[in-house]
Amino acid sequence: MIIPFDSLNKYNFALSDINIIYQKPQYRKFSTLSRGCNGFLYITKGECIYKSSGNDIHLLSGSVIYLPKGSCHSMAIVGEEIEFFRIDFTMTIDGELALFSDSPLKITDTCGARFKDCVGALSEECRFEDNSVSKIEKMCGILSSLQEHPTSLYKSKIGPAIRYIHEHLTEKIDCGQLAELCFLSTAQFYNIFKEKFGIAPLEYRDRLLVRRAEALLELGDFSVTEVADMLGFASVAYFSRFFKKHTGTSPSYYRNNEVR
């Protein structure tokens, strides 16, 4: 399940597996094919470049990037050294894993004082105690401080379009319509979106649809036809072609083999 970052307070979410590590790595490059958990990386010194889906994300001291579970990416250090906090966590909604994006996503280049205070508090908590309730409180503070930041993704130029995509996922959407919501030309909107996510707006929408389809099929409570109808597809045949194009397998096979 992928949810809008700034709408998190509308959901009854649960946090677990919270941990924070301060690192000063000696390696110059690092890559992962499938990240094991949700997390944030907060750069405190130096700079680096993350590569994901053909997109370069430049991070400086003060930058925060979101790294979703299952994402594939690489990091290359720029300059002499780098230091950062790695904040790992699991977030679920009604027992289902929740993500803010399915690929690495820069949140800000200038994190605020409240965020820094929350990171410090969580670091102390993880050092001296194993109090799960207190860790959750500190992690909620981190999430809240990032949401209120003026350069948060959903308060950016394309924020209205991102929100619209999430809230109207099963409806017909086109780039021109999304650009109008942001008071941008279609070309300007497309370029800003591609720079932020590394993929085109409609591909982003399609990935969200695939994630939602997978979640519904995994439940085992709905037939393939019912899922196709719930997601706004004109026919089950079209849904099946769409699903197989993006996952490499048919929805019926996925349902029969991935049911929880």
**pLDDT band, very low/low/confident/very high, at 189 (cuts 50, 70, 90):** very high
Higher per-residue pLDDT: 156 or 178: 178
Are the CB atoms for 22 and 123 separated by under 8 Å?
yes
Q: What is the pLDDT of residue 240?
A: 94
Q: Are residues 104 and 167 in the same domain?
A: no
The mean pLDDT of the chain is 83
4-34 pLDDT, tens digit per residue, is 776 676 777 888 888 888 888 887 788 888 8
167 vs 87, which has greater pLDDT? 87
Residue range 30-44: average pLDDT?
Answer: 88
Whether residue 246 lies inside any domain: the answer is yes
Q: Domain total for the chain?
A: 2
Residue 18 lies in a domain: yes
Using the predicted structure, report yes or no on whether residue 259 has a pLDDT greater than 70: no
Q: Is the pLDDT of residue 148 over 80?
A: no
Task: Confirm if 155 and 6 have CB atoms less than 8 A apart.
Answer: yes
Q: What is the CATH number of the domain that holds 70?
A: 2.60.120.10
- Position 252 scores a pLDDT of 92
User: What is the per-residue pLDDT for 151?
Assistant: 44
- Domain boundary pick from 87, 109, 131: 109
Q: What's the average model confidence in pLDDT over 189-209?
A: 85
* Residue pLDDT, tens place only, 43-86: 988 888 888 877 778 888 888 888 888 888 888 887 778 899 99
Same-domain pairing of 92 and 168: no
With a pLDDT cut of 90, the percent of the chain lying above it is 18
**pLDDT value at position 5?**
72
pLDDT tier, 129 (very low <50, low <70, confident <90, very high otherwise): low
- Structural domain includes residue 94: yes
| Residue 86 forms part of a structural domain | yes
Residue 236 counted as domain residue: yes
Give the mean pLDDT of 84-99. 88
Same domain, 87 and 174: no
Cα distances from 123 to residues 160, 163, 247, in angstroms, run: 34, 32, 39
Quick one: 171 and 98 in the same domain? no
d(CA 92, CA 75): 27
42 in any annotated domain: yes
Residue 75 lies in domain:
5-109
